[in-house]
Amino acid sequence: MEKLVVTGPTRLEGEVTISGAKNAAVAILPATLLIDGTCTIENLPNISDIKISCEILEKLGAKIDWIDEHTITIDTRNISTTKAPLDLTSKFRASYYLIGAMLGRMGEIEVGMPGGCKLGARPIDQHIKGFEILGANVSLEKGTIYAKADKLEGSSIYMDIVSVGATINVMLAAVLANGTTIIENAAKEPHIVDVANFLNTMGANIRGAGTDVIKIKGVEKLHGNSTYSVVPDQIEAGTFMLAALATKGDITLKNCITEHLDSIIAKIKEVGGHVEDYGDSIRVWCDKRPKKATIKTLPYPGFPTDLQPQMGVVLSLADGTSVINESIWESRFQYTEELNRMGARITAQGKTAFFEGVESLHGAPVYSTDLRAGAALVIAGTAANGETDIYNIEHIDRGYENIEGKFKNLGANIKRVRE
């Protein structure tokens, strides 16, 4: 078992390069199943979710060559089975994208219910509704999803809930369907645009990604033979921006798209941080204690739920009492108990948490309850006095490339220890 040991307090200073977006990459990889050929994908984050995605694709018959640790060439001409390996698909959430992609490619898929962070109920009814409207039969037996379609027919689908996963999954299924599919009330996250851009580069006809109406005109085939670079990760970027705030530091982020960070920049300024925006890089610094704030998580372009725990660390240290309302995931305040062990004063009640700001945190043994909670604990440990031992770090490794290396380069005293 490995843990991260962080000894603080440290004021983080310097430059960090942002990796490719996990939540785009975990959709682009299964999207390659729609291609009858080869393609090259660059700027993949070097994280465990990507390694598992690649293993799953290989088990289905894809051939993957690693050009370097962030680039693969993938040949999906010889997909040989429609049964996804349960031991791997149960390890992460994005395995649900195999349904849309394989329905499009093979007309059939058998896959276990997806795993991933325990953030409360994570239904996939909107995905299933979309597939069924396109003409698929979907059933669920003993934790396995069976989906089958003779031919998918384009149609109009209104999403009852704004869902990142359902929007992308239905888009995947619609790319090779007969006729036009219209997704209304679609999610608008940058990774949705990125998946659409990837598919269009490979020969798809998708318009409107990034707005709430997406139109997909079915095409005969995706030709591949192209190279695509994954968009920078706006959640990793936001994590470092908030780390600058929590440690009263000064961090410049390279390789980011600052347009994707508007809601975070606005909150950083509101709590007294400073931002210099250069378009593809950004400097964030803070020279005094952050001010209190009120935050509600929302689908993009609102404040992202995936930065809520990291913001929670900042507000734990702010002057005054702050409030966060979590509107996406019912169990995303589990990290608050861990921060309380470090001296924070947080009361979580259902979807709302109250942060009575303290002057400083102290080190403690803490448990990473999910991916973003883990990132929040690394920030808290860096800001806190003394030693923080962070356990369950496999959650962090799922989504952050070389987190200890990046924090260390910014001055943090952090090491990975095997117990």
For the residues of 17-68, what is the DSSP string, one character each? E--B-HHHHHHHHHHGGGBSSEEEEE----SHHHHHHHHHHHHHT-EEEEEE
> Pick from 15, 65, 87, 125: which binds ligand EPU (CB under 6 A)?
125
Instruction: Decide: is 164 part of the binding site for ligand EPU (CB under 6 A).
Output: yes
164-174 and 22-31 helices, crossing angle to 10°: 20
Stretch that binds ligand EPU, among 12-20, 140-148, 161-169, 348-356 (CB under 6 A): 161-169
CB of 169 within 8 A of CB of 130?
A: yes
Query: Please, what is the end-to-end C-alpha distance for the chain in angstroms?
Result: 5
DSSP string, 325-384: E--S-TTTTTHHHHHHHTT-EEEEETTEEEEE--S--B--EEE--SHHHHHHHHHHHHHS
Give kind and range of the element (H or E) at residue 262.
Answer: helix 262-270
Name the residue number minimizing CB distance to ligand EPU: 165
Q: Which residue, 126 or 316, has its beta carbon nearer to ligand EPU?
A: 126
Nearer to ligand EPU by Cβ, of 123 and 365: the residue is: 123
- Which of 9, 165, 203, 374 lies at the binding interface for ligand EPU (CB under 6 A)? 165
Identified binder of ligand EPU from the candidate list 166, 172, 214, 307, rule CB under 6 A: 166
Q: What track of x and - describes contact with ligand EPU for positions 292 through 331 (by CB under 6 A)?
A: -------------xx---------------------x---
Q: Is 95 in the site for ligand EPU (CB under 6 A)?
A: no
Whose Cβ is closer to ligand EPU: residue 11's or residue 338's? Answer: 338
Instruction: Give the residues across from 319 on adjacent strands.
Output: 291
Q: For the window 189-218, what string marks contact with ligand EPU as x by the rule CB under 6 A?
A: ------------------------------
Point out which span in 137-145, 156-164, 222-230, 400-408 binds ligand EPU (CB under 6 A).
156-164
Nearer to ligand EPU, 87 or 125 (CB): 125
Least distance in Å: CB of 230 to ligand EPU?
A: 13
Residues from 386 through 415 that contact ligand EPU (CB under 6 A): 399
Q: How far apart are CA 412 and CA 8, in angstroms?
A: 7
Cβ at position 116, least distance to ligand EPU in Å: 7
Known catalytic residue at 117: yes
SS3 305: helix
| Given the residues 39, 117, 256, 286, the one annotated as active site | 117
Instruction: Decide: is 169 part of the binding site for ligand EPU (CB under 6 A).
Output: no
- Which range touches ligand EPU (CB under 6 A), out of 122-130, 131-139, 268-276, 314-322? 122-130
By CB under 6 A, which span of 123-131, 174-182, 204-212, 283-291 interacts with ligand EPU? Answer: 123-131
Considering only 51-59, 124-132, 258-266, 389-397, which stretch makes contact with ligand EPU by CB under 6 A? 124-132
> How far is 320 from 291, CA to CA, in rounded Å?
7
Helices (H), 135-182: 164-174
| Residues contacting ligand EPU: total by CB under 6 A | 24
Q: Where are the alpha helices (DSSP H) in 125-261?
A: 125-133, 164-174, 190-201, 234-246
β-strand partners of 15: 252
With CB under 6 A as the contact rule, the residue among 36, 55, 90, 122 that binds ligand EPU is: 122
Map the footprint of ligand EPU across residues 360-389, applying CB under 6 A: 371-372
Q: Which is nearer to ligand EPU, 96 or 285 (CB)?
A: 96
DSSP letters, 175-188, are TTSBSEEEEES---
Q: Helix crossing, 234-246 with 371-383: angle to 10°?
A: 30
Angle between helices 22-31 and 97-106 (to 10 degrees): 20
- Cα distances (angstroms) measured from residue 333 to each of 225, 382, 399: 44, 20, 19
Calculate the CA 94 to chain-centre distance.
10
Q: What are phi and psi of 134, to 5 degrees?
A: -80, -5
Interface pick for ligand EPU out of 44, 56, 124, 152 (rule CB under 6 A)? 124
* Amino acid in the structure at residue 213: V
CB of 205 to ligand EPU, least distance (A): 24
Site for ligand EPU in 8-47 (CB under 6 A): 23, 26
Q: Active-site positions?
A: 117
User: Which residues would be at the binding site for ligand EPU (CB under 6 A)?
Assistant: 23, 26, 93-94, 117, 121-127, 161, 163-166, 187, 305-306, 328, 371-372, 399
